[in-house]
Amino acid sequence: MSISIAGLIGAAIGLYLGWIDYKIVSGVLRGVAQKQRRKTGRPGPLERYETLVRGVLLAFALIGFPLVGYFAGQSIAG
């Protein structure tokens, strides 16, 4: 299997978009968890599993987005 330059550019763009997505979604989840804590006074399920959720989100952002970007770049450019 040969590696195409267009695929690598797509993967780099996918990595960048994945990182941006991770930052946005993790910030939203953190805000929801804090709002839930203020409302009930105790940690909710999101706050208890925050590290697991953020880990899965990071793995998807750093692996899934570049894979999709690579295949999209490879299929668009040839």
Q: How far apart are CA 25 and CA 13, in angstroms?
A: 18
Q: How far apart are CA 37 and CA 1, in angstroms?
A: 51
For 28, how many CA atoms within 13 A lie in the half-sphere containing its CB? 7
DSSP letter, residue 42: S
pLDDT for 10-29, tens place per residue?
A: 999 999 999 999 999 999 99
Packed helices 5-40 and 50-59: angle between N→C axes, nearest 10 degrees: 170
pLDDT on residue 58: 92
Give me the mean pLDDT over the 37-61 stretch: 88
Q: What is the pTM of this model?
A: 0.82
Q: State the residue for tokens 């668009």.
A: 76
